[in-house]
């Protein structure tokens, strides 16, 4: 009966019927409180409702009932991410993978943490294994493309981006990465083709906008680059990289004072921004000595 009610609750949860799902999961735990799955599923219901403390209690109950329950460890990691605790999330995802090395969701979650931490090579390794686990997943190959690009491996990034586009021709991320690789290789016309289409597919993607602005600027279309950067800077928090690209364009056009102001703003937001600091050191006028 516990298994039956849990299965019925899973169907309700998939349909978004949270009240009905919760009732069935609770009934399953009453039939057998050592059955870990309904405790995990109660955590999913609570997380859907934004009741994060309750969700944590349920996931921990599932784990204490069955310490080898990889799904509960993965869900605990997702919850930790929602609460801003990336270190705890990483431990949970690694534990899920140690239980089930073929758990694609946990590998993808871990890889995203590694990308966010700036550890591109480790992320690339995880995405490689994810592609082995889920070879027909366009998201896995797109993640490999991005992490390989960040790691400086343009050939692998291009191959993975092309594979992701074979699997999902409408995807934006691998098209963006392919454009970024072409841009880094000096193929500005090819980069523009990819990045313009990526911008059409994902108009709010910051990475697309930044790369497209650079490509337009390098193609001689400074007004087009400024239009992209202006829209990006007006749409939310002023992204330091957008400020840097805009400052680079203005510096090249001789508007040094405006460029210096933008670079100082970028460095206030991100003090450890070496490219901005290097450009500022080249263009900022030296202070006038006191007489």
- Say yes or no: 72 and 111 in one domain: no
pLDDT at 236: 77
Whole-angstrom Cα distance, residue 65 to residue 262? 55
Instruction: Give me the percent of the chain exceeding a pLDDT of 90.
Output: 86
Is 23 within the bounds of a domain?
yes
Kindly report which listed range (9-13, 60-64, 97-101, 282-286) carries the lowest average pLDDT score: 282-286
Q: What is the DSSP letter of 237?
A: S
Is 123 within the bounds of a domain?
yes
pLDDT at 291: 58
- Say yes or no: 65 and 117 in one domain: no
Is 7 within the bounds of a domain?
yes
- Say yes or no: 14 and 65 in one domain: yes
| CATH number reported for the structural domain that contains residue 20 in this entry | 1.25.40.10
What torsion, rounded to 10 degrees, do the Cα atoms 276, 282, 283, 285 define? 120
Q: Encoding tokens for residue 53?
A: 């403390």
Give residue-wise pLDDT tens across range 47-92.
999 999 999 999 999 999 999 999 999 999 999 999 999 999 999 9
- Say yes or no: 62 and 123 in one domain: no
Start-to-end C-alpha separation, the chain: 91
Whole-angstrom Cα distance, residue 230 to residue 250? 13
- Burial of 22 (C-beta count, 10 Å sphere; 0-12/13-18/19+): buried
- Say yes or no: 72 and 126 in one domain: no
Give residue-wise pLDDT tens across range 94-127.
999 999 999 999 999 999 999 999 999 999 999 9
Give the confidence band of 212 by pLDDT, cuts at 50, 70, 90: very high
Domain that holds residue 34: 1-82
Give residue-wise pLDDT tens across range 152-203.
999 999 999 999 999 999 999 999 999 999 999 999 999 999 999 999 999 9
What torsion, rounded to 10 degrees, do the Cα atoms 90, 93, 99, 102 define? -130
Is 247 within the bounds of a domain?
no
Would you say residue 290 has pLDDT above 60? no
- Say yes or no: 6 and 65 in one domain: yes
**DSSP string of 113-157?**
HHHHTT-HHHHHHHHHHHHHHSTT-HHHHHHHHHHHHHTT-HHHH
User: How many domains is the chain partitioned into structurally?
Assistant: 2
């Amino acid at each position: 009966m516990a298994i039956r009610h849990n299965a019925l609750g899973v169907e309700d949860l998939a349909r978004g019927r949270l009240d009905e799902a919760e009732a069935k999961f609770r009934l399953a735990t009453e039939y057998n409180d050592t059955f870990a799955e309904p405790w995990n599923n109660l955590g999913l219901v609570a997380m859907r409702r934004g009741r994060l403390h309750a969700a944590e209690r349920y996931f921990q109950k599932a784990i204490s009932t069955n310490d080898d329950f990889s799904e509960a460890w993965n869900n605990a990691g997702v919850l930790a991410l929602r609460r801003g605790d990336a270190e705890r999330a990483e431990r949970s995802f690694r534990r899920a993978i140690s239980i089930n090395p073929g758990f694609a969701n946990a590998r993808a979650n871990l890889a995203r943490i590694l990308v966010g931490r700036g550890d591109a090579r480790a992320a690339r390794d995880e995405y490689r294994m994810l592609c082995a686990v889920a070879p027909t997943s366009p998201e896995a190959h797109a993640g490999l493309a991005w992490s390989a690009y960040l790691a400086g491996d343009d050939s692998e990034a291009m191959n993975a981006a092309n594979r992701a586009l074979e699997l999902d021709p409408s995807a934006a991320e691998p098209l963006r990465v392919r454009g970024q690789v072409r841009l880094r290789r000096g193929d500005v016309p090819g980069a523009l083709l990819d990045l313009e289409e990526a911008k059409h597919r994902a108009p709010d993607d910051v990475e697309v906008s930044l790369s497209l602005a650079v490509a337009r600027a390098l193609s001689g279309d400074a007004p087009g680059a400024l239009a992209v950067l202006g829209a990006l800077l007006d749409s939310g928090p002023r992204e330091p990289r957008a400020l840097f690209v805009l400052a680079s364009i203005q510096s090249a056009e001789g508007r040094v004072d405006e460029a210096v102001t933008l670079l100082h703003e970028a460095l206030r937001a991100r003090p450890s921004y070496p490219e901005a600091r290097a450009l500022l050191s080249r263009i900022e006028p030296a202070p006038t000595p006191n007489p």
